[in-house]
Structure formats: structure tokens, C-alpha cells
Amino acid sequence: MLMRTDPFREIDRLTQQLLGTSGTWSRPSAMPMDAYREGDEYVIALDVPGVTSEAIDIDVERNMLTVKAERRPVAKADDGQMELSERPLGVFSRQVVLADTLDTEHITADYEAGVLTLRIPIAERAKPRKITIGGESGRKEISG
């Protein structure tokens, strides 16, 4: 149901981790994701810890789902001095091509404990249907 859009994204992510670079709006960092089917919905879970829900932007254009988030530095006191900084800052993004069998008009989003969960219903036209065979004439009728 999903297609990866950038085969080099994983290489970029590893490079950014090794070099300690942050994402920018023109070149965002990768956002880890899980995707699975749960009943009549497709679920996408994205890790965005330390980001407020107001700093998350979700767009769907045709079948392209785009999620962007920005993690800014935590404000510290004027006399504070940073001793260690390992948490990545900057812009994070993920683009996912959604199949035509998903209902992009009814996507829901929840954000809890640093995980953004998107639920995308399976379109009615993509659900299995029962086809019945009529009487002697062999007429077929589709239900559903």
C-alpha cells in the first residue's frame, strides 16, 4: 500500500548521525516510521519526540502524504552552559505515496508520547465484495 519515495534517505540519515548535522527546510532529516494494516485501516506511526503538535505539518496532495516537523533548541537560562547535546534538532520530514485503495479524505491524526499516529481508512471500493450468480441465464450481480 506504500512506496518509498527516496532510496537514498537511509544513507542520508546515517550520514547526518555520523556528522551531527541538523535538517533544514530545504533538506530535512529523516523521520522514523512504522506502517501496518489494522482491520479496515492503514496505520502510519512516526517518531517525533520533543516536538509540539503545533510544530507538525501534515499535508495530502493527490496520493502524496507529507509530514514535516521542527524541533527547536530548548530555552535555557542565561547563565546555563550546554555540557552535552546529542538530541537532533532541526526539520524532520517524511513523504509517503499512498495507494489508490486508501481513503485520503478521512485521514485522522493523533499525537501522544512523541508518536504521531495517522489512520487512513481502506476505501470502500477496495474492500472485498461478494459476487453472486443468478439463475439459469447465468446473470451475475455484484453486491457491496
Q: Residue 138 region, left (φ>0) first, then alpha (ψ -120 to 50), else beta? A: left
Report the distance separating Cα 116 and Cα 11, nearest Å: 23
Q: Which of 94, 88, 111 is nearest to 30 (CA)?
A: 94
In the sheet that 115-121 helps form, which strands lie side by side, from edge to edge? Answer: 33-38, 41-47, 115-121, 108-112
Please give the pLDDT value at position 4: 52
Contact indicator for 106, 127 with CB cutoff of 8 Å: no
Q: Which of 86, 14, 8, 13 is nearest to 50 (CA)?
A: 86
Q: pLDDT in tens for each of the 144 residues of the chain?
A: 555 556 666 666 566 556 555 555 555 677 889 999 999 999 999 999 889 999 999 999 989 999 999 888 777 777 778 777 777 778 888 999 999 899 999 999 999 999 999 999 998 776 777 888 887 665 555 555
